[in-house]
Amino acid sequence: MLYALLGSALAQDPDVLVFVLDTMRADHLDLEGDATPELRALAESGVVYTNAHSVSSWTPPAVMSLMTGQYATTHGVVEGPIPARARAEEEGRTVLPLPVLDKKTSTVAQRFRREGYQTAGVTTNHLIDGPQGFSRGFTLYEKLGVDDSIVHDGPEHVDEGPQQWSLEARGMAPAPAEVVHGQLMDWKDELDTDARPDFVWVHLMDAHMPYRRHGDPDADLQTAYASEIAYMDRWIGRIVRDLEMQDAIIVVVSDHGDAFGEHGAWGHGGDTRTYAEVNDVVLFMTGPGLPAGEIVHEPVSQVDVVPTLASLAGLEKHRNGVEGVDLTRGLPERPVFGYRGGLTSVDQGSWMVVRDDWKLMEWNGGSALYRDGDETSSLLVQKPDLARRLGADLDDYRSSVVLREPDMVEVDADEDTLQGLRALGYLD
């Protein structure tokens, strides 16, 4: 597929709007029904990637890959503040061992700002913070606080997944999309009066636990999850319209999905490995230079977003330091990878490679081969040659990893930050 044919339709310096939908499973983008009408309308006006993969199973590595076009094993931001939590609380804070994006690596916001864009980013995830490099390149940047006005009754679903749902008892939740909309409206005058084209990055947490905020409080977990996505969908439509960015290049992508016990684990990160429920992500793009109604089934990765966006917006030198491919130029036959683990050793952790219709997973003490997204039974025994080929891809990927210790970073572990981490379930 070659969208370059649409080159004549490329707008000059188009506005760009990126939605990162935290924790939205790929199978919850409803392209046939009315569960997510705003997302469906946007998706139908552009190109939908139905076989898109996260680089990891949780937020910091995935978002940094969306910002850099590099795999997590390259940009190195594979850990958040979790390993340092005890120190932060017991010592009253100070310096935490956190991986930080290398100064030589450009974020997508830096790339756009260098080329004359006004850059604005808003996040409701406390892990997406300045010290690790997530705010780099944004002229306007806001990390919105926890919404502690929302009170939940208690852990009625604790049995379904203790780690995940215990936070419902705490009665805290990340700021909802309506609050994000308010922040963007506060910036709108500045964005409108500035003569530069706009690059706007919006990170929404509504699909992240706790779920029961906008639906039936007695609903089961998966229904509650879908209710939050429906709520988020409505606000995505309002954000596009109220920012008057209907003609912008719009990218919608999730950082990872969420497990509901499919393979014995709940939530994401943790021990969820790299199964489809956490590693398949929503990805579609619409706007100038992109055809409408296109469906792409070939495997793609979050690392492809930066080079594709840069190409669509006509940025110079957008391939520097990027491992993904420009999706407007057609898809080469290639493997895409996922990894959940640290960088001090690669002997642990969970690895994934997808090539064509096949996916190989390896983790400490196990492996599995799956076809066509059916992850109910492994075909390792039936397809040894394929397993060997994909295993060689994984070996190549592993051998590219530069082992390193996290940097020591000063972070502001004030009560607001700690509260934010608690709201994500990262502090007890």
- List 260's β-bridge partners, or say none: 266
Site size for Zn ion (CB under 5 A): 3
The answer to whether the beta carbons of residues 69 and 324 sit under 8 Å apart is: yes
Rg (C-alpha) for the chain, rounded Å, is 20
Instruction: Print the binding letters for residues 208-247 with Zn ion: x by CB under 5 A, - otherwise.
Output: ----------------------------------------
Question: Shortest approach of Zn ion to residue 415 CB, angstroms?
Answer: 23
Question: Shortest approach of Zn ion to residue 389 CB, angstroms?
Answer: 31
Nearer to Zn ion, 306 or 424 (CB): 424
Question: Shortest approach of Zn ion to residue 223 CB, angstroms?
Answer: 21
Nearest to 401 by CA among 323, 307, 301: 323
- List 46's β-bridge partners, or say none: 286
Distance CA 276, CA 290 (A): 27
Amino acid residing at 329? R
Question: Shortest approach of Zn ion to residue 105 CB, angstroms?
Answer: 21
Nearer to Zn ion, 255 or 323 (CB): 255
The answer to whether the beta carbons of residues 3 and 289 sit under 8 Å apart is: yes
Taking CB under 5 A as the binding criterion, the range among 251-259, 292-300, 364-372, 402-410 that sits at the site for Zn ion is 251-259
Nearer to Zn ion, 208 or 214 (CB): 208
Distance CA 147, CA 161 (A): 23
The answer to whether the beta carbons of residues 52 and 26 sit under 8 Å apart is: yes
The reply on whether position 168 binds Zn ion by CB under 5 A is: no
Among 255, 298, 304, 323, binds Zn ion (CB under 5 A): 255
Instruction: Print the binding letters for residues 128-147 with Zn ion: x by CB under 5 A, - otherwise.
Output: --------------------
Write out the DSSP string of 13-38: S--EEEEEETT-BGGG--SSSSSSHH
Nearer to Zn ion, 59 or 301 (CB): 59
Q: H or E element: which one contains 86?
A: helix 85-90
The answer to whether the beta carbons of residues 311 and 301 sit under 8 Å apart is: no
Nearest to 325 by CA among 297, 312, 306: 306
Question: Shortest approach of Zn ion to residue 322 CB, angstroms?
Answer: 22
Question: Shortest approach of Zn ion to residue 176 CB, angstroms?
Answer: 15
Question: Shortest approach of Zn ion to residue 203 CB, angstroms?
Answer: 9
Taking CB under 5 A as the binding criterion, the range among 64-72, 236-244, 252-260, 411-419 that sits at the site for Zn ion is 252-260
Question: Shortest approach of Zn ion to residue 65 CB, angstroms?
Answer: 12
Nearer to Zn ion, 78 or 369 (CB): 78
Nearer to Zn ion, 115 or 255 (CB): 255
| Terminal-to-terminal C-alpha distance of the chain | 49
Question: Shortest approach of Zn ion to residue 129 CB, angstroms?
Answer: 13
Nearer to Zn ion, 59 or 183 (CB): 59
Question: Shortest approach of Zn ion to residue 302 CB, angstroms?
Answer: 12
Nearer to Zn ion, 22 or 326 (CB): 22
Neighbours of 84 (CB within 10 A): 22
- Give me the sign of the Cα torsion angle 85, 426, 361, 31: negative
Nearest to 84 by CA among 63, 60, 64: 60
Residues of this chain, 5-24, that bind Zn ion according to CB under 5 A: 22
Q: H or E element: which one contains 279?
A: helix 276-279
The answer to whether the beta carbons of residues 20 and 66 sit under 8 Å apart is: yes
- List 147's β-bridge partners, or say none: 173
Cβ-closest position to Zn ion: 59
Residues of this chain, 260-289, that bind Zn ion according to CB under 5 A: none
Residues of this chain, 40-59, that bind Zn ion according to CB under 5 A: 59
Length of the chain: 428
Taking CB under 5 A as the binding criterion, the range among 248-256, 286-294, 372-380, 405-413 that sits at the site for Zn ion is 248-256
Nearest to 51 by CA among 255, 355, 323: 355
Nearer to Zn ion, 129 or 255 (CB): 255
Nearer to Zn ion, 24 or 47 (CB): 24
List interacting residues with Zn ion (CB under 5 A): 22, 59, 255
